[in-house]
Structure 1
């Protein structure tokens, strides 16, 4: 039975992103991270959206897919690696069963077999056909973003503009659709970026709730621009996932951190936050399924109450936006895709209007302009994760590398004859990889910090040696270096340095 309709609109936003991992290590950080997220999140989340679309449901959520992730989901090397990984997953499940853990082994075997069939049927030619089917069916609104996920507030304005316009063009190339909305990397913002967005054709973007002083009930034009900032409702979002609580930490759900080291499988449920890994209870899918139903009911109740309360507070129908990393659903929270599918069915049945950010804009969920200030969705909601003392060296490295790359490209421009130059293209490609926001994030959070620093310095080294060859007049050497780096970092083959704005 449908509950009484409530005022306003609920919007779910998912942000899908991983840094460029192809050919840059395998384990414990590298391609394994990509394949785990692909198998655990991207495959099942796409299946959930297909299931709902097949029921005639549309405008389900706004899905951000960063260009650098999209590039990996289309990359032939990654596609082959993923197929191999899925086969290996099934073998590991069989090993668990033969080693005596029959319940775990059989459960994992079923999951791996289904994932392998799904991948072979739908994904072997890349992720683009999968996402395009959902975009064309209007099941989702696609959100785009800058090419390699830079922390934009700290980025040179020329490179910031280039990454954004090229990121939107990359989306059109893959999916036949240019996003009008974006997920700003790390929700990072500094005044003036709204003008860059407007110039690129972006009509709306995401910020975290505190950037709007917690009033996220309406999209807000930024200063005197037509570009809307939509804010994440922390009260609702933290119900699912927060630094200290949320559904995935409940005792019945699968424990993310505890592994069976022989097979790499996860045999336990959370059990209790103070319970050591070996002492945790075995995972029980039926027990977890019951918990999913409980938490779906809780979330629907939370959204209804929030919409009713906020609509009454502002005197008009309110917007509630919950936003999460896509990788939460399946990778971090094993039961997340189940919960997602049930929630997207249950909300309309409970009288909640579900729509995308574009729907909110079209339906007039727009308030007064806001003088948006420096902000992010990181710790402290400021820039400390990407600009704080622990990553001061990376901030300085980024500034040096961007300056070197742009200066070298400007000199090459003087000598250019109008023909596309693969050396210039690779120089620019390595520079944007060097300034990915992921490296500083991983260092600040002490998550594979050594790998992150190595990656930043590796791409910086590529820029330095290509630039040195160019400025030293060693053009043949520069060509050889560029070709060598392209073999590892050949993402965005359409990237063309000639489209970079010249110096002001």
Structure 2
């Protein structure tokens, strides 16, 4: 150990379900393009700046295969380029519409600058998609990359054969995109069932995340799980919840930009939070200078929180300890406008405060490995159990998904000639099994859209299963139509799902 205050790991989990060709506004492709513009572009630009400085092991970045597929997809790349141009046009329109209001006019000018910067960044660095950019930062050691199963299913509810297929396919997909398999994964929703570590070990997974309560709050070190050599890291909720919790956090401060309030005539967000109970029409205009001052306060507060936590853990355990703070990447920029600037602030300020900032890999290299543990069934959702994905509100979806998996296993192909119809059927089934749909229903967030998506992919699976073996023009045309809409994983081979 170095004699520093201790070790801090920032882990970001980047994920959206498959959205192309499935609606635009308010849920659908717009969700992808907003997250891309306001989270993925600035976060990757932040990583680029650290890479240019020669920094290594700055943060751990999880990227789900289904998100990577969208950020590499030619259709999405073209459509996002159009979206960025439209953003700049909306800002120009706002400048005209708001020319009589100095505060709003300045906001429109700032939006125009941001849109122009994003367009330039996209046109110069993203012309060949996301994976070449990501690969450069993995190869340079600036970040540690976490992978995951293909379409982000809630693994504890999967048949073990489907679970293994989805994880193996996801790791292979990441390897194809960046040239190497990640050693760690972000288990979707941090979902865990006892014994899953054995399957992880079989697929070469060396480490994964769980939520703090799964370790009974003892997140000061990583732990091997059960009798395996697979290591789990737990989110430190005392620190993580300082930023974002089910009830409070920095993004809700009155001076920050309000996520929910739109000026629909220009498609921009002109207001600050102002107050949690203030109606949208009564919210004050957003002022960047006010937000910047608050941001500096929250950077300092977070650094103080991490240092205090590390000191208390050291006093308790008699050794340097570890703090892991983990969040959805989309929080930073998409949900919390000021989030990317906050990230850069803490990643620069923590080392100055004597804290080792590193990746999960770096934390193990620094010796933060405790005794083996047996983990309970858990997740990072409400109650820290499975209720979000296996509760009463989604009982019908759970039943439908269980039946779908059995039908899926029934169409798995034996070794022999590859079958495009079978491959597409398996893709549709995996898209139906995305954890997002149950989450959205349980949380009543675009629940109708989520139910429609799950049902649509299930019905498409059944339709394709019924077309297996047919080579007539109608069947071929239908296959081509569905592949044009939903084909995130060209390498997916249904034969890999067959178990003799």
Matches within 5 A, 1:2-151: 6-100=4-98, 101-151=104-154
2:352 maps to 349
**In the aligned structure 1, how far is the partner of 2:131 from the partner of 2:163?**
25
1:261 maps to 264
2:101 maps to none
Q: Is residue 284 of structure 2 the alignment partner of residue 281 of structure 1?
A: yes
Inter-CA distance 208–36: structure 2 relative to 1 (3 Å threshold): same
**In the aligned structure 2, how far is the partner of 1:475 from the partner of 1:384?**
44
SS of alignment partner, residue 11 of structure 1: strand
SS of alignment partner, residue 230 of structure 1: strand
Mapped contact 1:252–1:287 kept (Cα < 8 A): yes
Output the TM-score relative to the length of structure 2. 0.97
1:500 maps to 497
**In the aligned structure 2, how far is the partner of 1:102 from the partner of 1:210?**
47
Q: Is residue 483 of structure 2 the alignment partner of residue 486 of structure 1?
A: yes
Quote how far apart the aligned CAs of 1:329 are.
Answer: 0.4
Quote how far apart the aligned CAs of 1:126 are.
Answer: 0.4
**In the aligned structure 2, how far is the partner of 1:7 from the partner of 1:226?**
28
Question: Which segment is superposed worse, 269-278 or 152-161?
Answer: 269-278
Matches within 5 A, 1:196-211: 196-211=199-214
> Would you say how many aligned residue pairs link Structure 1 and Structure 2?
493
Quote how far apart the aligned CAs of 1:261 are.
Answer: 1.1
**In the aligned structure 1, how far is the partner of 2:199 from the partner of 2:498?**
13
**In the aligned structure 2, how far is the partner of 1:129 from the partner of 1:489?**
23
Output the TM-score relative to the length of structure 1. 0.96
Quote how far apart the aligned CAs of 1:138 are.
Answer: 1.0
Q: Is residue 472 of structure 2 the alignment partner of residue 469 of structure 1?
A: no
Quote how far apart the aligned CAs of 1:474 are.
Answer: 3.5
1:455 maps to 453
Q: Which of 213, 218, 227 in structure 2 is aligned with 1:224?
A: 227
**In the aligned structure 2, how far is the partner of 1:479 from the partner of 1:461?**
18
Inter-CA distance 232–125: structure 2 relative to 1 (3 Å threshold): same
Q: Deviations over 1:173-232 (max 9, x none)?
A: 111121001000000000121011101111100000001111111111111000011000
Mapped contact 1:144–1:168 kept (Cα < 8 A): yes
Inter-CA distance 289–10: structure 2 relative to 1 (3 Å threshold): same
Quote how far apart the aligned CAs of 1:426 are.
Answer: 0.7
Question: Which segment is superposed worse, 214-223 or 477-486?
Answer: 477-486
**In the aligned structure 2, how far is the partner of 1:479 from the partner of 1:315?**
67
> What is the root-mean-square deviation in Å for CA atoms of aligned residues?
1.3
1:434 maps to 432
Q: Is residue 194 of structure 2 the alignment partner of residue 191 of structure 1?
A: yes
Mapped contact 2:422–2:465 kept (Cα < 8 A): no
**In the aligned structure 1, how far is the partner of 2:475 from the partner of 2:199?**
33
2:315 maps to 312
In structure 2, stretches of 5+ residues that fail to align are 99-103
Quote how far apart the aligned CAs of 1:483 are.
Answer: 2.6
**In the aligned structure 2, how far is the partner of 1:226 from the partner of 1:453?**
39
Q: Deviations over 1:422-461 (max 9, x none)?
A: 1111111111001000000000000010110000000000
Inter-CA distance 232–370: structure 2 relative to 1 (3 Å threshold): same
